[in-house]
A = this chain, B = another copy of it.
Amino acid sequence: MSVTYDFPRPAVTVDTVVFGVDDEGLKVLLLQRDAEPFAGWWALPGGFVHEHEELDDAALRALSSKTRLTRIYLEQLYTFGERGRDPRGHVIAVAYYGLVRLRDHRVRAATGARDVAWFRVDQQPKLPFDHSRIVDVALERLRGKVTYQPSLVFELMPPKFTLTQLQQLYEAILGTALDKRNFRKKMLTVWKIVAETDERTEGTVGPPARLYTFDAAAYRKLARSGFQFQF
């Protein structure tokens, strides 16, 4: 039995919003387009879905082929299909977002891109298509998700970190300042999802800070019984 469908079809693309963090704050990965439309503009990495390709695979492929970023964690965000969003015609974009440890990944331009760079989320250039909207939706989702699935945050942290670094990351994502004592109490006493190590930072300006690790086992236990949110 073969049933076919032979009408004109919309094209389907995947677009990816990849966030990273460094000491300047939260950043988003953009590439400078090589081809029309919008050649020369900074835009989200993405591309057309190939025949018989799964969406998740298409997103990873598009990202790695254009920016050399591989093996990163992506999650589907939303599917955009507004009329007029793409001058080439009827193009539906399945958007993904993800997080990487910026220092672990050297990005460089590849197929279809003149250049690749990280932009602070509060200092993005004007983006083509509806990409600005997509970034906004991704940011909103990231902010929401962080409060009820804090494990996400640790995707961005090195394996060992200080509590101040962790707090700064939360502040970068949420865009607000947090109280140091309350933050530490939540991590150490309430949630207990970080574990002390014996190590400390070296060569810092102030006193050395203790290094912690993410306690995945404690996290899973906590996740089963639900979270209490807000800072």
Residues of A near any B CB (own CB < 8 A): 1-5, 7-12, 36-37, 48-56, 76, 78-79, 81-83, 87-90, 92, 94, 226, 230
The residue that A36 contacts in the complex, of B1, B8, B54, B56, with Cβ under 8 A, is B1
**8 closest residue pairs by CB, A with B:** A55-B81, A9-B9, A79-B79, A8-B51, A3-B88, A52-B90, A79-B94, A3-B36
What chain B residues lie within 8 Å of A8 (beta carbons)? 51
Contact A55 B79 (CB under 8 A): yes
12 residue pairs bridging A and B, Cβ less than 8 Å apart: A1-B37, A3-B36, A4-B89, A7-B51, A9-B11, A10-B12, A10-B49, A12-B92, A51-B90, A55-B92, A79-B79, A79-B94
What chain B residues lie within 8 Å of A36 (beta carbons)? 1, 3
The residue that A3 contacts in the complex, of B37, B51, B53, B81, with Cβ under 8 A, is B37
Contact B7 A9 (CB under 8 A): no
Give Cα A3 to B34, complex, Å: 14
Q: A55: nearest residue on chain B (CB-CB)?
A: B81
Give Cα A34 to B78, complex, Å: 31
Minimal beta-carbon separation of A119 from chain B (angstroms) = 25
Minimal beta-carbon separation of A225 from chain B (angstroms) = 11
Minimal beta-carbon separation of A128 from chain B (angstroms) = 12
The residue that A10 contacts in the complex, of B51, B76, B79, B88, with Cβ under 8 A, is B51
Minimal beta-carbon separation of A86 from chain B (angstroms) = 10
Give Cα A82 to B56, complex, Å: 9
Give Cα A4 to B81, complex, Å: 18
What chain B residues lie within 8 Å of A53 (beta carbons)? 90
